[in-house]
Amino acid sequence: MSTMTLDAAGRTEAAQSELTGGQIAASAEVRKTVGKPFCDTAKLRMRNVNVFYGEAQAIHSVSLDIGRNQVVAMIGPSGCGKSTFLRCLNRMNDTIEGCRVEGELSLDGDPIYGPKVDVVPLRARVGMVFQKPNPFPKSIYENVAYGPKIHGIASRRADLDEIVESSLRRAGLWNEVKDRLDKPGTGLSGGQQQRLCIARAIAVSPEVILMDEPCSALDPIATARIEELIDELRENYTIAIVTHSMQQAARVSQRTAYFHLGRLVEVNDTETVFTNPEHELTEAYITGRFG
Amino acid sequence: MQTPTLFALLLLLILVAYGTGFSRALSAARSLGGLRNLASLPSYYGIFAALWCGLPALILLGAWLIFDDAIIRAMVLNSVADKPETISGQNLLYAQIQNLAAGHMLGEATPRLQEAADHLSQLRSSSNNMQAFMSLILAVGLGAFALLRFSPQLRAREKVEKVLRAILIACACAAIFTTVGILFSVLFESLRFFQSVPVTEFLFGLHWSPQMALRADQVGSSGAFGAVPLFTGTLMVSAIAMFVAVPIGLMAAIYLAEYASKRVRAVAKPILEILAGVPTVVYGFFAALTVAPFIRDLATSVGLEASSESALAAGLVMGIMIIPFVSSLSDDVINAVPQSLRDGALGLGSTHSETVRKVVIPAALPGIVGGVLLAVSRAIGETMIVVMAAGLAANLTANPLESVTTVTVQIVTLLVGDQEFDSPKTLAAFALGLMLFVTTLVLNFIALHVVKKYREQYD
């Protein structure tokens, strides 16, 4: 395991990189994150994040800002730690036994980890959409109303109706389901289920939405629908999305972060990453030489 | 020849047939240049020969052992000059002849009996010899036939697998036919019972007192077969048991599935399941000697009247017995709820307990209901605890501090001791058994249906 040192800018420097397995011929080293990991309008601020699963280290000293009303895409080969990193942002890793997170993470200046932090309001502020659509085995209405109910956002039925309708409208699902709100959410198609999950997430009015490969189980038409939706949601929310599709990252995001073997290699404007990558690993990945 | 010796001899023949078949196949393969030139592997040729050798001979032997007594009996009785007309008379006569043949006869034997006994012994020994001779001939003959049929092209595997499939089908049928047989025997005896006691009285009568008068002048023993007190008793004891078992079992399951760490779970779950392995008679003592007196004293101290055998005692202990059923089944069902649902709920900011209450349990509910219904049929069928702790008095009461009796307990008391199978008292047990069978069958059917429906919910 390599030793880590910090320079003045708080960036990480690996004394020696450990690219094993000969995935790439060039002896590229991940000394520090190149590009622009920080931004002025940071909504989420992460500094020197290390994640361990038991003894194994999954994330090596990652620092990154996610700006307000911005879509940040995280790309990289399988097992590079991008989902693990995403799940740190609303502490979903807490449910995994033996998982330990180090570093400073904050949401609008409020710490995310720490003994005094209550995860319940945190998760209400940072919503999540998962890889596989996971509607509850309840009616469509109950699925969307679940969050507002547990957080006491709406006490009267009329308010709740309004939240359900506006969430479904914003998720672009209202017209398809308005006549069958009492039917089970599990009876919808895959794409509709995923939009239902997005509606469920925005019903609690979060500030940030995390999306972990939200389209990987969907067909191209449903995918296009979700991508359109992400673009619309950007007006009101900050979005971090993990994706395996570089086209998707290019279409929906403003900034793109490239992860490799648990390290953040490069962060730049999406256009720069896909047209003029700074790091050779990034270039190798986006040109399809490995991944 | 004795039957065990014969069995050993047959077994030996089977082994020889297997070995010969196997080695013939091997040598044939060698001369042809490899196992690939045989239609099947050598062991299949061995099994093929062994099956031909053993199976028909064993079937013959089995059939012989089942039927020879009846045939010999008929032959002996036919040879007796003036045999009695009635079946019981014939039974008596045949028993005398058997005793005489075995040398147990006390007193003087008439020449007629002596002659019959000699005939019996002679028939028996010739039957024995015949049986040994026939089965050995069959085994050797068919084994040799199978070995003669050997050729490298013989598809031994297909034939062996056909036979194995037939054996498997036979075993499955044996289980099914046993159930059907039990059902019919109970059904026919019940029909006999309903000839002497009307169905309506049995189903709706409020008084249960199965003692029948042996003589007309005996007191208070006309017999009453109203099963309602038994069913209310069963219902009350089961209800108390479920009242204990469902909340405790369910919450234990929730703790084990959702909150316990892996290490606690690995220890606690097997310990909880040991409860299911305690013999019910042990629960019985516990109920009768510890719980029942405790409840009586407690009730007396608060000014209630309680009998020393109470429905409450039996129900409480039965509830404890059923806890592992409920908890184990519910634990499985709760674990089957996909992690993605928990993640979804947690990701929306639910607390752990909200996730469990509002997402996991509702999702698992159909499966939990199925488990609870299986536990109910277990409670209804439970006997030993109730015999020991709830008493025998068929009270029609809603007070759990009084002693009650259940369907199963009455079946036990009706069939323990000397019985006469033509009195309604004994036959009543079969009618009760039939009712119980139908009730648990319906409950199991509903439970399985619910569980099946649940399985279709995800994926």
Residue scoring higher pLDDT (A22 or A57): A57
Do the chains contact at A123 and B349, CB–CB below 8 Å? yes
Q: Is the pLDDT score of A287 beyond 50?
A: yes
Residue scoring higher pLDDT (B173 or B225): B173
Domains and CATH numbers, chain A: 34-286 (3.40.50.300)
Question: What percent of chain B shows pLDDT beyond 70?
Answer: 94
Q: Is the pLDDT score of B260 beyond 60?
A: yes
Q: Is the pLDDT score of B70 beyond 80?
A: yes
Number of Cβ within 10 Å of residue B385's Cβ equals: 31
- Work out the angle at residue A105's Cα, subtended by the Cα atoms of residues A104 and A108, and round it to the nearest 5 degrees: 125
Give the integer Cα–Cα distance in Å for A140 and A178: 9
Q: Would you place residue B459 in the very low, low, confident or very high pLDDT band (cuts 50, 70, 90)?
A: very low
Question: What percent of chain A shows pLDDT beyond 90?
Answer: 48
pLDDT in tens, A84-103: 999 999 999 888 888 999 99
Residue scoring higher pLDDT (A254 or A32): A254
Q: Is residue A37 packed enough to be buried (19+ CB in 10 Å), middle (13-18) or exposed (0-12)?
A: buried
Positive or negative torsion for Cα A142, A143, A149, A150: positive
Q: Average model confidence (pLDDT) for chain B? A: 86
- Option in B348, B359, B457 nearest A123 (CB): B348
Residue scoring higher pLDDT (B207 or B343): B343
- Option in B338, B349, B359 nearest A124 (CB): B349
Q: Would you place residue B171 in the very low, low, confident or very high pLDDT band (cuts 50, 70, 90)?
A: very high
Q: Give A-chain residues touching B347 at CB under 8 angstroms.
A: 90, 92, 123, 127-128, 130, 201
- Structural Rg of chain A based on CA atoms: 19
Q: Give A-chain residues touching B458 at CB under 8 angstroms.
A: 137, 186
Give the integer Cα–Cα distance in Å for A159 and A138: 20
Q: Give B-chain residues touching A135 at CB under 8 angstroms.
A: 344
Kindly list the domain boundaries of chain B, sorted by start residue: 3-154, 224-455
CA distance B359 to chain A (A): 7
Q: Would you place residue B100 in the very low, low, confident or very high pLDDT band (cuts 50, 70, 90)?
A: confident
Q: For domain B224-455, give the fold.
A: MetI-like fold (1.10.3720)
Residue scoring higher pLDDT (B421 or B398): B398
Mutation pick from B262, B333, B337, B348 vs chain A, by most beta carbons of A within 10 Å, is B348
Give the integer Cα–Cα distance in Å for B311 and B318: 10
Residue scoring higher pLDDT (B213 or A176): A176
Q: What are phi and psi of B438, to 5 degrees?
A: -65, -45
- Output the pLDDT for position B215: 58
Q: Would you place residue B447 in the very low, low, confident or very high pLDDT band (cuts 50, 70, 90)?
A: confident
CA distance B363 to chain A (A): 6
- Option in B343, B350, B363 nearest A137 (CB): B363
Which of the residue ranges A80-94, A205-219, B71-85, B330-344 would you say has the lowest mean pLDDT?
B71-85
Pairing of strands A208-212, A238-242: parallel
- Work out the angle at residue B99's Cα, subtended by the Cα atoms of residues B97 and B103, and round it to the nearest 5 degrees: 115
Positive or negative torsion for Cα B164, B166, B168, B174: negative
Q: Would you place residue A5 in the very low, low, confident or very high pLDDT band (cuts 50, 70, 90)?
A: very low
**Interhelix angle for B361-381 vs B311-336, to 10°?**
140
Q: What is the mean pLDDT of residues A176-198?
A: 91
pLDDT in tens, A266-286: 999 999 999 999 888 888 888
- Output the pLDDT for position B399: 83
CA distance A187 to chain B (A): 10
pLDDT in tens, B339-377: 999 999 999 989 999 999 999 988 888 888 888 888 898
pLDDT in tens, B124-137: 888 888 888 988 99
Q: Is the pLDDT score of A51 beyond 90?
A: yes
Do the chains contact at B349 and A204, CB–CB below 8 Å? yes
CA distance A217 to chain B (A): 13
